[in-house]
């Protein structure tokens, strides 16, 4: 069967939306670090819209900071891939031509630095997950004993980390008399622009205080909020798409119709007409970000751990249960009270839309996919909300149940006794405490200050509520616990 490429694209069925521009005339205006499914289904679609509008400055050079997998998927396809947005039986398929290729950073770090330093590059975006910023969650300082960051602190001739590549490229631009690029974090982190700014300036200052000062004065690191559910692509998805369009697309991504990108209106140099392509530009991202983290992401984490422990494979299956849906609504009741919604955000309507998105059975969004890297996600998704409620003397029963489910998850066995791998950078450390008796397990996990702020960990009410919830999960199981509490 034919593999998707430029030649095959001309014969795709009319149901696939195709580029209307000449790909040969596209310039590389964006470099994206951490190229993966989310970027391909989110930011790249915006750049595709810019290209289709006739603004050919916004081709995207992707970079993998680890493995060649994405490059090896895209290169045989002339860097073409399809995005399938599905809800129920409805599906929209779009061929994306914005990719200018993929560099694998460990193969030739200097090549990636040179590409980022090109004058035509005006924007560098990142999806490197929380752990890619190399910042201590508790202090905000660089994690200097991280092996890759330690290497970048020694020399930036062959960078290994996202901050390292950014600093090295900005140094080359400064030496060439160019302005900085706008650097945009697209990770689900509170104050993601400031975190990236702090990491870059700290690393730059270690090497060259004058470079640090130039970046601080001339650069831009806008805050952003991104939202689109992008489940992992499976072989069955590739086969189903092949049956529809007649070619094999090994780089396809699947997603939902909904998409949102909010960017702080702070840039240096050129940019696409973002607003024309559905991006919201704002002076204050934080209220949008808080609503998304505490409602969508917080609920997702609770669904992932409770559903995963109960042996429920997909998000839509959890909210199909009356008790599962009631759990989510109860968690939202607690979380919504901590928000200061921005103008234009109707929280009740947002909640209704989120529930519809969670119930989208066409996505097959796996609970175990969401459960990854929980130690990095808990602080902003659940713990910040809990702290806000405790400071106001409000109960935290539902939010604490979600945290207790994460604690139970660290044991590496679901309620049926089936083992699984806890995919988390702190898994070795959390497993030690998770194996203890309930009260000791809670105490041991709360002692990990990279996850739990000391003041929160020391809160007696929080600790008691966690012990009660973890006891219920261990003795009754996740499904029986939510049935009893929310059924």
User: Does the pLDDT value for residue 260 go beyond 90?
Assistant: yes
The pLDDT of residue 189 is 87
What's the half-sphere exposure (Cβ side, CA atoms, 13 Å) at 137? Answer: 21
The last residue of one of the domains, among 256, 282, 308, is: 282
- Residue 1 domain flag: no
Quick: pLDDT tens for 263-292: 999 999 999 999 999 999 999 999 999 999
- Residue 263 domain flag: yes
Looking at the DSSP bridge assignments, the partners of residue 84 are 93, 254
For 169, the 3-state DSSP assignment is helix
357 plus 415 within the same structural domain: yes
CATH at residue 360: 1.10.1040.10
Quick: pLDDT tens for 356-393: 999 999 999 999 999 999 999 999 999 999 999 999 99
Mean pLDDT of 235-242: 96
106 alpha-carbon distance from chain centroid = 22
340: Cβ–Cβ under 8 A, 6 or more apart, which residues? 287, 290
Mean pLDDT of 409-417: 98
- Residue 432 domain flag: yes
- Strand residue runs (E) in 37-195: 59-64, 81-87, 90-96, 99-104, 123-126, 182-185
257 plus 373 within the same structural domain: no
Split at pLDDT 50, 70, 90, the class of 224 is very high
Q: How far apart are CA 112 and CA 168, in angstroms?
A: 10
User: Does the pLDDT value for residue 212 go beyond 90?
Assistant: yes
Domain count, the chain: 2
The last residue of one of the domains, among 267, 282, 297, is: 282
305 plus 433 within the same structural domain: yes
User: Does the pLDDT value for residue 309 go beyond 80?
Assistant: yes
- Residue 52 domain flag: yes
The pLDDT of residue 138 is 74
The pLDDT of residue 265 is 97
Mean pLDDT of 178-185: 98
Split at pLDDT 50, 70, 90, the class of 331 is very high
DSSP state of 107: G
390 plus 404 within the same structural domain: yes
Split at pLDDT 50, 70, 90, the class of 130 is confident
The pLDDT of residue 344 is 85
- Residue 80 domain flag: yes
203 plus 306 within the same structural domain: no
Mean pLDDT of 409-420: 98
The last residue of one of the domains, among 249, 267, 282, is: 282
223: Cβ–Cβ under 8 A, 6 or more apart, which residues? 191, 192, 193, 194, 263, 264, 285, 286, 289
Quick: pLDDT tens for 41-53: 999 999 999 999 9
The pLDDT of residue 481 is 98
Contact 194, 232 (CB under 8 A): no
For 266, the 3-state DSSP assignment is coil
Which range marks the domain in which residue 329 is found? Answer: 286-486
Mean pLDDT of the chain: 97
Quick: pLDDT tens for 62-93: 999 999 999 999 999 999 999 999 998 899 99
303 plus 233 within the same structural domain: no
225 plus 258 within the same structural domain: yes
309: Cβ–Cβ under 8 A, 6 or more apart, which residues? 405, 408, 409, 414, 415, 473, 477, 478
Split at pLDDT 50, 70, 90, the class of 420 is very high
Query: What does the CA dihedral 324, 325, 330, 336 come to, rounded to 10 degrees?
Result: 130
- Residue 450 domain flag: yes
- Residue 115 domain flag: yes
Split at pLDDT 50, 70, 90, the class of 136 is confident
365 plus 401 within the same structural domain: yes
Quick: pLDDT tens for 431-465: 999 999 999 999 999 999 999 999 999 999 999 99
Quick: pLDDT tens for 139-164: 889 999 999 999 999 999 999 999 99
Proportion of the chain in helix, strand, coil states, percent, rounded to 5? 50, 15, 35
293 plus 271 within the same structural domain: no
239 plus 372 within the same structural domain: no
For 419, the 3-state DSSP assignment is strand
113 plus 10 within the same structural domain: yes
Which strand (E) or helix (H) includes residue 333? helix 322-336
Q: How far apart are CA 180 and CA 214, in angstroms?
A: 9
CATH at residue 21: 3.40.50.720
Mean pLDDT of 237-253: 97
Contact 60, 44 (CB under 8 A): yes
249 plus 298 within the same structural domain: no
The pLDDT of residue 235 is 96
């Amino acid at each position: 069967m034919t593999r998707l490429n430029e030649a095959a694209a001309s014969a795709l069925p009319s149901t696939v939306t195709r580029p209307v521009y000449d790909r040969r005339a596209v310039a590389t205006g964006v470099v994206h670090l951490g190229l993966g499914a989310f970027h391909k289904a989110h930011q790249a679609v915006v750049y595709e819209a810019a290209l289709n509008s006739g603004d050919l400055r916004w081709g995207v050079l992707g970079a993998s900071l680890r493995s060649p997998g994405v490059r090896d998927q895209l290169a045989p396809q002339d860097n073409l891939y399809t995005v399938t947005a599905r809800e129920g039986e409805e599906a929209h398929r779009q061929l994306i031509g914005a990719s200018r290729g993929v560099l694998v950073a460990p193969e030739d770090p200097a090549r990636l630095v040179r590409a980022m330093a090109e004058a035509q590059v005006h924007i560098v975006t990142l999806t490197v997950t929380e752990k890619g910023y190399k910042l201590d969650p508790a202090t905000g300082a660089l994690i200097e004993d991280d092996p890759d960051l330690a290497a970048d602190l020694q020399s930036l001739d062959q960078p290994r980390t996202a901050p390292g590549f950014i600093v090295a490229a900005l140094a080359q631009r400064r030496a060439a008399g160019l302005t900085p690029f706008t650097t945009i974090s697209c990770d689900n982190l509170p104050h993601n622009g400031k975190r990236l700014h702090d990491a870059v300036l700290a690393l730059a200052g270690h090497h060259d205080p004058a470079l640090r000062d130039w970046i601080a004065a001339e650069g831009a690191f806008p805050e952003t909020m991104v939202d689109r559910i992008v489940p992992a692509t499976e072989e069955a998805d590739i086969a189903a798409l092949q049956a529809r369009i007649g070619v094999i697309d090994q780089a396809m991504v699947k997603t939902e119709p909904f998409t949102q990108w909010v960017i702080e209106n702070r840039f240096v140099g050129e940019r696409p007409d973002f607003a024309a392509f559905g991006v919201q530009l704002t002076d204050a991202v934080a209220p949008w970000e808080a609503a998304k983290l505490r409602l969508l992401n917080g609920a997702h984490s609770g669904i992932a751990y409770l559903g995963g422990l109960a042996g429920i494979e997909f998000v839509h299956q959890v909210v199909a249960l009356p008790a599962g849906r009631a759990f989510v609504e109860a968690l939202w009741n607690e979380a919504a009270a901590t928000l200061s919604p921005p103008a234009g955000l109707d929280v009740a309507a947002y909640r209704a839309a989120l529930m519809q998105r969670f119930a989208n059975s066409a996505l097959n969004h796996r609970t175990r996919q969401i459960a990854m890297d929980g130690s990095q996600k808990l602080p902003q998704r659940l713990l910040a909300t809990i702290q806000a409620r405790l400071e106001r003397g409000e109960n935290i029963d539902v939010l604490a149940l979600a945290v207790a489910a994460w604690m139970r998850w660290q044991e590496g066995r679901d309620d049926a006794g089936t083992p699984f791998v806890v995919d988390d950078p702190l898994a070795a450390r959390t497993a030690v405490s998770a194996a203890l008796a309930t009260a000791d397990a809670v105490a041991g996990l709360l002692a990990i200050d990279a996850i739990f702020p000391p003041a929160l960990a020391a809160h007696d009410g929080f600790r008691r509520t966690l012990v009660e919830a973890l006891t219920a999960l261990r003795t009754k199981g996740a499904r029986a616990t939510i049935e009893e509490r929310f059924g």
